[in-house]
Structure 1
């Protein structure tokens, strides 16, 4: 149960920090090299965390890595540069993440149903519609 709430707290803290820092990125410079530098720092932090959490040798841990992490690596720069570009194009920090997250989540609901056979109740679907209504009300 601890990990359940710790994971949520980690996402919340990192997400808040991420958007506050992304909003403050100055204009100018190549955003892709900036994001790349951020991931070098992230890599170093991951190596340090790995050293404290490893369960086997580096070779064993390396062999257990899924190819999905490669795909995540392809997607991440788009998310990072996309949010920075949203903020630089005038999106407010209070609206950008919410709008993007509601749209992504809504598409994931559809994908979950069509690809993974997930089922949603009517109340779940009503919640999705309320999210859309919230995004529309934000723009008013």
Structure 2
């Protein structure tokens, strides 16, 4: 049970701090310039945590196992980060932006799961899509 709950707690906590940080980027700085620091800190922190959690680990051996994913993931993460910064610079409230994004993401991922991962597309999920869309109408009134 704890192994299922802790990762979700980490994701929720990190997302809350993430949204606070994204909304707090000063208007005077170019978001991409800010992200150079963000990713430098992230790279150093990732390396430190790798060695903390893998006492005898060999980071270069790990790199030999890479495929295309970390490279595309890096590009996509920049798009995600700069997108959020621009969302807040455009004036979206934290409470609304996250809900709207999450609702559209949930709907999109239902279809991604069905198309790419052969996850079943049940009537419950289809009805859920309409409930989510109705919720978006209500939250944006």
TM-score, structure 2 as length reference: 0.90
Question: CA separation in 1, counterparts of 2:125 and 2:111?
Answer: 12
Aligned ranges 1:18-33 → 2 under 5 Å = 18-33=18-33
Question: CA separation in 1, counterparts of 2:32 and 2:109?
Answer: 26
- State the partner residue of 2:66: 65
Question: CA separation in 2, counterparts of 1:58 and 1:25?
Answer: 32
Deviations 1:66-118 (A, max 9, x none): 32111110101111111111111111100111111211221121122123221
SS for the counterpart of 2:26 is: coil
Deviation, 1:22, is 1.2
Question: CA separation in 1, counterparts of 2:49 and 2:95?
Answer: 32
Question: CA separation in 1, counterparts of 2:87 and 2:140?
Answer: 15
SS for the counterpart of 2:83 is: helix
Question: CA separation in 2, counterparts of 1:52 and 1:97?
Answer: 33
- State the partner residue of 2:125: 124
Alignment check: 8 A CA contact 2:87 2:97 kept: yes
SS for the counterpart of 1:74 is: helix
Question: CA separation in 2, counterparts of 1:56 and 1:88?
Answer: 41
Question: CA separation in 2, counterparts of 1:122 and 1:10?
Answer: 31
Structure 1 residue runs of 5 or longer lacking an equivalent are none
> What is the alpha-carbon root mean square deviation over aligned residues?
1.5
SS for the counterpart of 2:92 is: coil
What is the count of residue pairs matched by the alignment? 140
SS for the counterpart of 1:65 is: coil
- State the partner residue of 1:14: 14
- 1:36 matched to 2:25? The reply is no
